[in-house]
Amino acid sequence: EPEVTQTPSHQVTQMGQEVILRCVPISNHLYFYWYRQILGQKVEFLVSFYNNEISEKSEIFDDQFSVERPDGSNFTLKIRSTKLEDSAMYFCASSEEGESDTQYFGPGTRLTVL
Amino acid sequence: AQSVAQPEDQVNVAEGNPLTVKCTYSVSGNPYLFWYVQYPNRGLQFLLKYITGDNLVKGSYGFEAEFNKSQTSFHLKKPSALVSDSALYFCAVRDPSGGYNKLIFGAGTRLAVHP
């Protein structure tokens, strides 16, 4: 069964450093998403991406964040200058369509900012 | 504003007994509703969804959920719990009326099934 994969599983970085989190969505899916879950808190939407552009973003997704689909398979989330409060589990998801279709989630990348 | 409430932080049930995990929602339009499960050190796994049609939807691993529009609820149920069902369960809603695809999640309910 096709799955969303994410690398790395755990990333430790120093405050102020740039990180790139990588995702490989399910191959025939067209919509891509990033969510995050700060320890002990809700899963929060960050951004959705379709047809090579951002279709929706939350207030959390400020200028420090960017997303890219650099090739036909990868979908990345970049945080330019990490802050302590960026420490969280980051989940990538994809769906075949945007409307009623199901979003399938990857296993997550745990980001720790020191 | 869209929101999802899961009123119980934890639900405890004995193996073999029926289980219910509660979820209520608030959206302006007709909601799309989802349940996901998270096992330790794993991602969110899709269980089931309600889009339209029959209010009772069946999903993976014997789970089902009932959409109740008047009570704005979408409770997750299973007739006979297994110890392996112990996990964190998330209810989520999407409000398509504004063209939004994002999921709004509840805080999660930890299900503990005891032998």
B105 and A CB contact within 8 Å: yes
- Give just the sign of the alpha carbon dihedral A74, A79, A80, A81: negative
Q: What is the DSSP letter of B49?
A: E
Q: pLDDT at position A72, please?
A: 78
What tens digit of pLDDT does each residue of A60-92 get? Answer: 999 999 999 988 789 999 999 999 999 999 999
Check B43 against A4: CB less than 8 A apart: yes
Residue B106: closest CA among chain A residues belongs to which residue?
Answer: A42
Chain A 74-93, CB below 8 Å of chain B: which residues? 91, 93
Residue B84 burial by CB count (10 A; 0-12/13-18/19+): exposed, middle or buried?
exposed
Tell me the CA end-to-end span of chain A in Å, nearest whole number: 37
Low-confidence ranges of chain B (pLDDT < 50): none
Q: pLDDT at position B42, please?
A: 80
* pLDDT band with cut points at 50, 70 and 90 for residue A100: low
Check A44 against B106: CB less than 8 A apart: no
Chain A residue numbers with beta carbons less than 8 Å from the beta carbon of B92 are 43
Residue A60 CB contacts under 8 Å (≥ 6 apart), including other chains: A36, A44, A46
Strands B64-68 and B19-21: unpaired
Mean pLDDT of A94-108: 86
Residue A39 Cα, gap to closest chain B Cα (Å):
11
Chain B residue numbers with beta carbons less than 8 Å from the beta carbon of A44 are 105
- Consecutive H or E run containing B24: strand B24-26
Q: pLDDT at position A99, please?
A: 65
Q: A48 near A56, Cβ under 8 Å?
A: yes
DSSP helix/strand/coil, B98: helix
Chain A 52-71, CB below 8 Å of chain B: which residues? 55-56, 58
